[in-house]
Amino acid sequence: MPENLSNIKEAVKTQLIHKTDNVEELKPMELNFVKLSPAENTTVLVTNYVDSNNYPEVVSKIITYTHINAEQVGFIKKPNGKEAILRLEMPAGEFCGDGIMSAAALVSWLGYSDKMEFSLESSGLNSLVHCSVKKIQNNLYKVKAYMPIEYQIIDYQSTFRNHKIIGKLVSLPGITHLILEAGLNQYEAEFISELVKHIAAEIKAKAIGVIPYSASSTEVNINPCIHVPKTGKLLFERGCGSGSLAVGLCLAQKHKKSINTSIKQPGGVIRVGIDVQNSCSEPIKIEMAFLETDILITCGGKLYI
């Protein structure tokens, strides 16, 4: 374990920062963090205790250019059960594919487990997430996480700003994505930004994504836009694990067969596997789904808010 981060492991175990008596007022904090990059979906994991009521304000500060300049923030907690190494909580209580893969890399990097396979808990889920980790070099890991297969796909059709929108709404634990089969440059960024806010208000989702994608016989490309109303986050992410999973589910449903493909996004590649159990059923039955990508650990230490 890197010497300058030796206190992080103890912080997770003992929860060194305790609850404040008044969660309405955010007091100055000194927090331990690690920043990781799954397909450049830069993720800060905070390893001290932070009251969940303070998540939105803490996140709004951490992700700024002045502080750590990341796309998202997760909070490492003690697991509720004995089978998991740790628990990951996202600020809106959602499940995050890239977040859980980053937490798995953190487990290996800080030596929480000497096993290559283990389970984690996550916000938005009642079940455990099984992960496997392979060390590539000192601060680079290949992580595979087996995704929850709780999902629903429904047709979506609407008119927004004189554009006819036809796609699939894919509901995953804590986040819903509108999947649009379209050229990546078919819609302007401003249009997508307004559309994602419109849909979030329409369906009252904790987190919502609009994922335009294009697919050929050789590759799939996406350009994900994510909105989390509770924290005010609206961002064209460099990478999106749950969005990649949603696209994989749509492709499996469309072609009625198992999918194992690399999904290119602005920041890199996330591999998606969907194992279809019964392709003749409607909807198809999914037996297993996974995400896999390289996780680069870029920095860590203390931050002050």
Q: What is the largest CA-CA distance in the chain?
A: 57
At 216 the pLDDT is: 82
The residue-averaged pLDDT of 9-37 equals: 63
From CA 211, how far away is CA 89, in angstroms rounded?
Answer: 23
**pLDDT tens digits along 107-139:** 999 999 999 999 999 998 989 999 999 999 999
Q: Of 8-17, 167-176, 265-274, which has the strongest mean pLDDT?
A: 265-274
At 24 the pLDDT is: 52
From CA 159, how far away is CA 202, in angstroms rounded?
Answer: 13
What's at 284, amino acid-wise?
A: I
User: What own/partner pairs with CB < 8 Å and gap ≥ 24 does 107-111 have?
Assistant: 107/131, 107/133, 108/133, 108/135, 108/141, 109/1, 109/34, 109/139, 109/141, 109/297, 110/1, 110/5, 110/8, 110/9, 110/34, 111/1, 111/9
From CA 208, how far away is CA 211, in angstroms rounded?
Answer: 10
**pLDDT tens digits along 153-209:** 999 999 999 999 999 999 998 889 999 998 767 889 999 999 999 999 888 878 899
At 15 the pLDDT is: 39
Q: Which of the four pLDDT bands, split at 50, 70 and 90, describes residue 12?
A: very low
Give yes or no for residue 5 having a pLDDT over 60: no
From CA 54, how far away is CA 21, in angstroms rounded?
Answer: 12
User: Which domains, ranges and CATH numbers included, belong to the chain?
Assistant: 3-147+295-304 (3.10.310.10), 152-291 (3.10.310.10)
The residue-averaged pLDDT of 34-56 equals: 96
Which two three-digit tokens encode residue 39?
A: 């397909």
At 255 the pLDDT is: 92
Q: How many residues does the chain have?
A: 305
**pLDDT tens digits along 48-98:** 999 999 999 999 999 999 999 999 999 999 999 999 999 999 998 888 999
Give yes or no for residue 23 having a pLDDT over 70: no
